[in-house]
Copies of this chain bind each other. A is one copy, B any other.
């Protein structure tokens, strides 16, 4: 019979200690913390100096394994990316807060932990502390993971409020892939293997962009998609943002899936894309640097305006319209 997680693993006694020793310590905790995971203390301790970014996300994606990735890779990438979007491209440490449903196959949990460890290793960040809770059968759907991260930012933190008129808007890659791939998988559609999540840490891209020019802000267009991210830029900067629709990279598979599902690629989550606001004179250099750093589709899609404060103006090629933030009536559990 398949081994499953039972309630005892979350009860804080010997059963949990065994789980932590055999499944967690075997995978996580290599690092340079002053007090690391191996001490099994109340927390980890890190010697730092300067400006520290703190960010958190809980991941509840359904299904937990999807074309192109799984909830473990997503949980690490998501938090690494949020740190990077503030300018902290070399994260110090991440936490792992697990909630597991009693009865979940142990193999799902260990596969997800493997993915977390692999993604953290790739980035070179340690998972230094965590928590494991088990809820009853039917009280949570399989697995949810919170990851919280800390990282150091040198210089001015990246912030949308720093955007200035004339700054160029740069996207690092094709838009809409993650959300459309997850929704397709959930609905049972198959786009011939062409559509997969873009989930990936993009801290390297942000580092490359910052080295190539003056990056004023960056964000990962996750829930709400590029449309939400651009509206947030406009709102935080109290400026207009002009975007050229035909410049936005969208794959054929994503376009096709969007039409079948009745969903706008601009409105759905990306998990391996960065959107930048860059000083005008540096925009070409930043695009070149991104392309060299592994983002061949990086491109300028728009710029910051002096008028239309708080609004995104989309040039469709045949005219202009405001690009609204998605309302959020649909699309639960995308990440």
Contacts and interface: CB of A to CB of B under 8 A. Distances in A.
Interface stretch (A14-22, A109-117, A249-257): A14-22
A157 B45 contact: yes
A82 B44 CA distance: 10
Interface string A81-95: 111011010000101
A43 to B, nearest CB: 3
Contacts of A150: 52, 54, 150
Contact of A223 (B11, B135, B146, B328): B11
A57 interface: yes
A55 interface: yes
A84 to B, nearest CB: 8
Contact of A49 (B49, B135, B153, B329): B49
Interface string A19-49: 0000000000000001100011111111111
Interface in A257-276: 267, 269
A144 interface: yes
Interface stretch (A125-133, A163-171, A290-298, A300-308): A125-133
A134 B332 contact: yes
A54 B128 contact: yes
A43 B83 contact: yes
A42 B85 contact: yes
A51 B39 contact: no
Given A11-B334, A41-B85, A54-B93, 18 more contacts: A12-B334, A13-B326, A16-B328, A41-B86, A43-B53, A43-B56, A45-B53, A45-B153, A56-B146, A57-B97, A58-B99, A58-B146, A60-B140, A102-B332, A135-B333, A139-B333, A146-B148, A148-B148
Nearest to A132: B58
A205 to B, nearest CB: 15
A40 B150 CA distance: 17
A224 interface: yes
A85 B39 CA distance: 14
A79 to B, nearest CB: 9
A133 B333 CA distance: 8
A51 B49 CA distance: 8
A-B CB proximity, top 3 nearest: A12-B223, A13-B328, A43-B55
A11 B326 contact: yes
A16 B334 CA distance: 14
A45 B239 CA distance: 23
Contacts of A95: 54-56, 148
A40 B8 CA distance: 39
A42 B220 contact: yes
Interface in A196-255: 219-220, 222-225, 228, 232, 236
A159 interface: yes
A232 B40 contact: yes
A314 interface: no
A85 B190 CA distance: 51
A193 interface: no
Nearest to A222: B12
B86 A35 contact: yes
A15 B224 CA distance: 10
